[in-house]
Structure 1
Amino acid sequence: MSTDSLSPAARRLCDAMTAGFPGPGDVTALRAAAVPGPPGPEMASVYDTVAAGVPVRVYDPAPGAEGRPLAVWFHGGGWVMCGLDTHDRLCRELALASGAVIVSADYRLAPEHPWPAATDDALSVLLWARSEAPALGCDPGRVVVAGDSSGGNLAAVTTLRAPELIAGQLLAYPPLDASMGSGSVTTYGRGHFHTAAHMAWYWDQYGGDPTHPHVSPLWAPDLAGSPRTLIVLADCDPLRDEGLAYGRRLGEAGADCEVRLHPGVFHGFLGLPLPAGAAARAGMAAWLAATP
């Protein structure tokens, strides 16, 4: 069993969540377990539409405003589960707190649609967001990509594919290395909700060459020219060291990169009723609002 440095509140939540969460291998059970949380706050405009063939949900906290940032959000869920509804509350909170328009992408899921389907959908939504930004009251030069967990991977891959179109990337505890060779995979791979076994299974469903940078961004040979970046990590997470390594590489490549490591919490803490989750969301919103 790994060393446990979760806070008492996080440990109680972790144990309760783990008790009701299916093991890897059953797509139907995992999808059934990925239910939306409590309703999010009311806001001026929330509507569903289609962006270049991809369903999206648009969150606009102040219709009629101009020149705002726009964030394209990619949800987590191991590329196999979750969707617009599971991340609705988080997107509402980020839009309200930042003043940015959020476009949440309902990309195609594995294993029915393996790599590169999700990455292609992600790029399509980015291109749509850039073209629609003026109509949405946003500055096309202030478009960022963002996501949690597997969505953070998609944000990083989209940035690698089109860095010139992106003003920033916000990556929350992203999987960045399909080889899963970092130390935190061993240290926190059991007993901290998101297990190494789950992650290995997600990678298997997703597919693709594990050494390809558009699968494993940490394998990208050159990160020069990367935009402003915020990486939000949980300390007790198998994916922690991948995020730390990516942050170091971005900094070495000359990117404006900030890594925020939150102690005492586990993978998925952003949406949980924990002080660290509230602090992380507030920090993410402030970062979005400051998009140059």
Structure 2
Amino acid sequence: MRRPDPRVRAVIDQAAAQFPPLGTEMTDITEVRAFFAARPRPATPRLALARVRDARADGVPVRVYDDTDRTDAPVVLFCHGGGFALCDLDSHDGFCRSLAHATGAVVVAVDYRRAPEHPFPAAPEDAYTALRWAARTLPGRRIAVAGDSAGANLATVLTLLARDRGGPGITCQALYYPMLDPTRSRPSHRENARGYFLTADHLRWYWDGYLSRPGAWADPYAAPLADADLSGLPPAHLVTAGFDPLRDDGLAYADALTAAGVPVTAHHYAGMFHGFLSLADALPEAAAARETAFTVLRTALGLG
């Protein structure tokens, strides 16, 4: 049985210690969010950018990160992870700052409504509203969609919605360890069910809260691996991790996109775990992987 490198194991354990036992001892969303709010803040100073502002995208809260003087800089619409129920603009502020600085794109982070108070389809509809707003307020620019975990689900769904609803055009999709299949039936969900930060209990709790509407589990706008038509979608870049229960979701989606004729660039990190791209300060491997991911996105947007 493979095991993480001891350095990686220590980071996994530290991250898990700061995470509530979702789906077991702790199930109430108010209690879970209070747990998160009480966690100590990172001591690392925020990366300074030229401009960061909060705005309303036709009613949807967004945060716009701009570190370039170009008036035609491409746009990255970013959806944060958190199982559709947790995290927000502040939790992913550092990642979005790094993304804007490294790519030279204007990053628009979406504060979509969260489950269980607002189950599917609230989150993708908010993200799509923000996408249309970004295309209208920053016209004539290339647009990418990106996200991590549940946010990567929303990024994939945005490509479907944009195709099916007549736009706006999307240049590429960047999907970091995407959460795509509520059946959780692939081998990685069993192999990595416990002990690697994100657990099977977490995922069950997330999906149950998000897909409470009858029939939602089979809706491709909720579960893009549920027999979705993937033809005509923009090129994709996927990042997966070996010790992630979502590993096989991402690998299966890469295969499905390829079968549908969509160009795919995939990077698999066998020794990493869910969420590792956000831990670049703790692991040199994560820092290198994040640099690669941002370089791929920069090149896809014509900035490389």
Q: TM-score, normalised by structure 1?
A: 0.93
Q: Which aligned pairs between 1:114-129 and structure 2 lie closer than 5 A?
A: 114-129=119-134
Q: Which aligned pairs between 1:1-292 and structure 2 lie closer than 5 A?
A: 3-24=1-22, 25-34=27-36, 37=42, 38-63=44-69, 65-134=70-139, 139-140=140-141, 142-163=142-163, 164=167, 165-207=169-211, 208=213, 209-272=216-279, 273-290=282-299, 291-292=301-302
Distance 1:104 1:21 in 2: 23
1:178–1:216 Cα contact (<8 Å) kept: yes
Distance 2:155 2:285 in 1: 23
1:262–1:276 Cα contact (<8 Å) kept: no
Q: Which runs of 5+ in 2 are unaligned?
A: none
Cα offset, 1:245, TM superposition: 0.4
Distance 1:289 1:20, change over 3 A: closer
Distance 1:245 1:17 in 2: 27
SS at match of 2:228: coil
1:22–1:29 Cα contact (<8 Å) kept: no
Distance 2:256 2:293 in 1: 21
1:69–1:289 Cα contact (<8 Å) kept: no
Letter in 2 for 1:158: L
Cα offset, 1:33, TM superposition: 4.2
Distance 1:204 1:132, change over 3 A: same
Q: Percent identity?
A: 45
Question: How many residues align structurally?
Answer: 284
Distance 2:298 2:90 in 1: 24
Cα RMSD, aligned residues only: 1.5
Letter in 2 for 1:8: P
Cα offset, 1:115, TM superposition: 0.7
Letter in 2 for 1:252: A
Cα offset, 1:23, TM superposition: 1.1
Cα offset, 1:98, TM superposition: 0.6
Cα offset, 1:247, TM superposition: 0.1
Distance 1:178 1:157 in 2: 14
Distance 2:10 2:180 in 1: 28
Cα offset, 1:40, TM superposition: 2.4
Cα offset, 1:4, TM superposition: 4.3
Distance 2:284 2:270 in 1: 11
Cα offset, 1:21, TM superposition: 1.9
1:94–1:281 Cα contact (<8 Å) kept: no
1:48–1:58 Cα contact (<8 Å) kept: yes
SS at match of 2:217: coil
Distance 2:205 2:270 in 1: 26
Q: Deviations over 1:147-198 (max 9, x none)?
A: 0011000001111111352111111111111111000000001111100110
Distance 2:2 2:19 in 1: 20
Q: Deviations over 1:179-231 (max 9, x none)?
A: 11000000001111100110011000101411110111011432111101101
Cα offset, 1:114, TM superposition: 0.8
Q: TM-score, normalised by structure 2?
A: 0.89
Q: Which runs of 5+ in 1 are unaligned?
A: none
Distance 2:284 2:35 in 1: 24
Letter in 1 for 2:291: A
SS at match of 2:159: helix
Distance 1:78 1:167 in 2: 26
Distance 1:94 1:221 in 2: 29
Distance 2:293 2:138 in 1: 21
Q: Deviations over 1:21-57 (max 9, x none)?
A: 2111132343234455333210100010110111110
Distance 2:270 2:28 in 1: 31
Distance 1:26 1:277, change over 3 A: farther
